[in-house]
Amino acid sequence: MSVLIEARGLVKRYGARTVVRRVDLTVAPGEIVAVVGPNGAGKTTTLEMILGIRRPDGGRVTYRLGDPRRETGAQLQATPFFPHLTAAENLQLFAAFYGVRLSPARVAELLEGCGLAGAARTEAARLSGGQQKRLAIALALVHRPKVLFLDEPAAALDPRARREVRELIRRVAREGTAVVFTSHDMEEVGKLAHRVVFIIDGEVRAAGSPAELLARHGAPTLEDLYLRLTEGQEV
Ligand code: ADP
């Protein structure tokens, strides 16, 4: 299997506290990887080290995809866009950040691909929650990255909007872009992820496809497995 990103033994310390301990994570083309675990487990820190936003205190990240800044896209914030610019203007502005000029046809294609064809001239602030989330994803795709990172992409959305975001993630992956996302919704993770990585207390405690994980741990659902793996954790 070819691999685009290979993180080995990542460690992050804040003062005397080690918040990420020897985490391994690989990403292959077109694959959807879910990173799950309790709040404060080290998921975001791990993704930020892989993205080069935070410097690891140990381990290394190998990129097999050219310039990682150009080949990765990330949406780690809830509403990253400029609220008073239209959806199309936001896309053009974000493309400019990457030094990419978007043709009107490419803007239309991106909006269409993210289910926002009718929203090109709508101010971002006026879009629905689900549309805003899909715009956030479109903004991370302007430069055609090979790997897309999303932090809780479906959090706080209604069921229809969640489904739309799930379908968008599947489409992005089918077109060859790997997607790495975090989520607390185990049902969603089971529906969407090809591979699930449980990070608990800074460590990878279990990893594999949903089916492999359930079989290996004898758990009826991913939620049961989550509860079992996090038993005794402070909440
Ligand atoms: P998760 O994404 O799983 O919720 P994080 O990676 O955000 O977890 O955080 C892991 C731990 O590191 C948490 O205990 C958090 O409080 C701590 N942490 C994160 N960023 C910093 C920082 N800049 N300084 C000190 N501690 C931090």
pLDDT in tens, 141-195: 999 999 999 999 988 888 888 898 899 999 999 999 999 999 999 999 999 999 9
Q: Which atom of ligand 1 is nearest to the CA of 37?
A: 3
pLDDT at 65: 85
Nearest residue (CA) to ligand 1, atom 14: 40
Q: Which ligand 1 atom minimizes the distance to the CA of 47? A: 6
Q: Could you tell me which residues come within 8 angstroms of residue 93 by beta carbon, excluding any fewer than 6 positions away?
A: 82, 85
Instruction: Output phi, psi for 180, to 5 deg.
Output: -115, 120
H/E stretch holding 69 reads: helix 68-71
CB distance 77 to ligand 1 below 6 Å: no
Residues 78-95: tens digit of each pLDDT: 668 999 999 999 999 999
What mean pLDDT, rounded, does the chain reach?
A: 93
Cα dihedral angle (18, 21, 205, 211), rounded to 10 degrees?
Answer: 130
Q: Where are the domains of the chain?
A: 5-65+146-229
pTM here? 0.93
Cβ–ligand 1 contact at 202 (below 6 Å): no
The 10s digit of each residue's pLDDT in 193-224 is 999 999 999 999 999 999 999 999 999 999 99
Residue 41 beta carbon below 6 angstroms from any ligand 1 atom: yes
DSSP notation for 20-44: EEEEEEEE-TT-EEEEE--TTSSHH
The secondary element (H helix, E strand) that includes residue 180 is strand 178-182
Pocket mutation for ligand 1, best pick of 11, 12, 18, 19 (most atoms within 8 Å of C-beta): 19
Q: Which atom of ligand 1 is nearest to the CA of 45?
A: 6
pLDDT band at 1 (very low <50, low <70, confident <90, very high): low
Average pLDDT over residues 108-115: 91
Give the CATH superfamily of 5-65+146-229. P-loop containing nucleotide triphosphate hydrolases (3.40.50.300)
